[in-house]
Amino acid sequence: MKPTYDSFVQTELAEAARRFREGHGFDPNIHDLAHFAWQRLIPPHREYGNWLLAAERKDRDEPEWQVEGEEPEEPEEPTPDWRPSREQVRNWSGDFLDALHNFERPTFMLPGMPPAIQREVLDAYPGTHVPFGWKTTYPRFPQWGFDHTDNFEFYEMSVDFCFERQKVPVCVIHFEANDSLDRHLERIKPRLDRLLVGNRLVALQWGWEINDINDWTCDGDAQLEYLDGLRRIVGPDLPLYVHWTPERWSGWPSFRNTIGRPEDEGGEGDWLREAHDRFRVTGMCYQEPWDKDLAATFERTYTYDKKNYAGPGICGRCLTYGLDFIFFEHSRDPERYRQVIEYAKRDGRGGWC
């Protein structure tokens, strides 16, 4: 049988470990193979992962392989003391698609990158906020896909890298499409609890475009139940943000059984008011279509007004109902992204990412 690449990596790493233990030195080329094993969960991936944690956090080239007959040493945990104030959390700026660096290393895929690259990305990152979850795949960036559900320490490592550089890590919740609301909350609770206990949860985004996942996530009433469930887990004060598909700015139309009613702005505003007043939603991360005319994007987002209604723009409506506004630009054009940032800065009423 022809050996697979996975088996080749496992054999190479095992041989490197044997030679290192026998005193023959460390081959630095093995570092990349170890990271590959970590991402692909090739047994024994946890040992290789621990090596990476220990080696990268101490900024050295040689791993601490376990010596036969000795108990393995736990990697040293970093102790980043910095935590953002609530004001810093609410003052968003960012570039989650890495548009300004040609989309090579998007920060929402940060935990899927080798630790050394994560540090490079954060050191070059121009913003303050870094939204990412513990499991993410995206067709445009297959090389950075990751799932740290069962090896959560690797997600925590990325969070710590942010704190060490005084960036605000925004935890973005992962969804399994087939989960009911109750099952979803049951699944995420242990990981949110762990982040809270470790003082690693400073801001929470309820997911990416959640109204495009399943039946209950596109229901405004169910979304309020979801917010209630999140508040029961994380408490009343943690900054909490919502996010939908492009041009969607609230949980309407199915809010309070209004589905089928002709669309009117009031239904959306009612949802925002309730989300803020009952569940203390901090802000909304809003997107426009990436290929929409830029002038039309600015008009709808910042300047569009309607008689006898809160405004101007979606930004103004959010602020009227007590929510912070964060413009999430996900275009494929760096120049467009720069223009969005400049417009948001001139408007001065919200953040961007």
Give the model confidence (pLDDT) of 189-213 as tens digits: 999 999 999 999 999 999 999 999 9
Read off φ and ψ for residue 338, nearest 5 degrees: -60, -40
pLDDT in tens, 257-303: 554 454 444 578 889 989 999 999 999 999 999 889 999 999 999 98
H or E segment and range at residue 284:
strand 283-286
Q: CA 151: distance to chain centroid?
A: 17
What is the pTM (predicted TM-score) of this model?
0.78
- Residue 123's pLDDT band, with cuts at 50, 70 and 90, is very high
Q: Considering the chain, what percentage of its residues have pLDDT values greater than 90? A: 50
- Written as one letter, the residue type at 33 is L
Q: What is the pLDDT of residue 225?
A: 96
CATH number of 86-352: 2.60.40, 1.20.1070, 1.10.10, 3.20.20? 3.20.20
In the chain, residues under CATH classification 3.20.20 are 86-352
Max CA separation in the chain (angstroms): 79
Lowest mean pLDDT among 69-78, 151-160, 191-200, 343-352: 69-78
Residue 5 contacts by C-beta under 8 Å, 6 or more apart in sequence? Answer: none
- The SS3 assignment for 216 reads helix
pLDDT in tens, 224-249: 999 999 999 999 999 999 999 999 98
pLDDT at 137 over 70: yes
H or E segment and range at residue 243:
strand 240-243
How much is the average pLDDT of 87-110? 89
